[in-house]
Structure 1
Amino acid sequence: MDAEILIIGAGATGLALAQGLRRAGISCIVFERDDGLFARSRDWNFAVHWSADALRAIIGDEAWSKIQTVQVDPNTPTKHMDGLKFLNAATGELVNEAKIDYFYRLKRSAFRELLADGVDLRFGKRLESVNFSEDGEWATAKFADGSNVTGRMIVGADGPKSVVRDLLLGASRPTRIPYVATFVQAQFTREQALFLRSFHPLYLAGVHPDNMFAFFGMQDASDAEKPETWTFFFYISYHSSLEEQDQAADWTSRQYLDVLKERAKTFCDPWKSALEWVSEDLPVWHSTFSDWDPSVPEHKWDNRNGRMTLAGDAAHVMTVQRGQGLNHAITDVSQLLEAITKSRGDGTTNQATAISDYEARMTERSGEEVRQCTINTKMLHDWASFQNSPVMKKGLKKD
Structure 2
Amino acid sequence: MAGIVLTAAACNSGSVAPSSPGLVNAAVRGSRPAKIEHIVIVVQEARSFDDLFCGYSGADGKCEKEAIPLEANCTLSDTFQDFEHERKTGNFGKEHADCPGYRHPEYAHVPETELKQYYEIAQQYVLGDEMFSSTGNPTFEAHQYLIAAEAANAENQPFGTTPSNGCVYHQWVHQFNGGKIDACFGYKTLADELDAAGLTWSYYRTADSKHPVVNTWDAYGWIHGGSSGTSPSSAFLQDVRSGKLASVTWVTPAFADSDLSGSLSCTGPEWVASVVNAVGESQFWNTTAVVVLWSGFGGWYDHVPPQMVDYEGLGFRIPVLVVSPYARTGYVDHVHLETGSVLRFVEDTFGLAPLAASDSRARSLGTSALDLRRQPKSFVPIQGGSGCGSRGASR
Question: Which one has the bigger helix percentage?
Answer: 1
Question: Which one has the bigger strand percentage?
Answer: 1
Does TM, scored on the shorter chain, surpass 0.5?
no
TM-score range, shorter chain: under 0.3
Per the normalisation by structure 1, the TM-score is 0.23
Per the normalisation by structure 2, the TM-score is 0.23
Flag the structure with larger Rg. Answer: 1
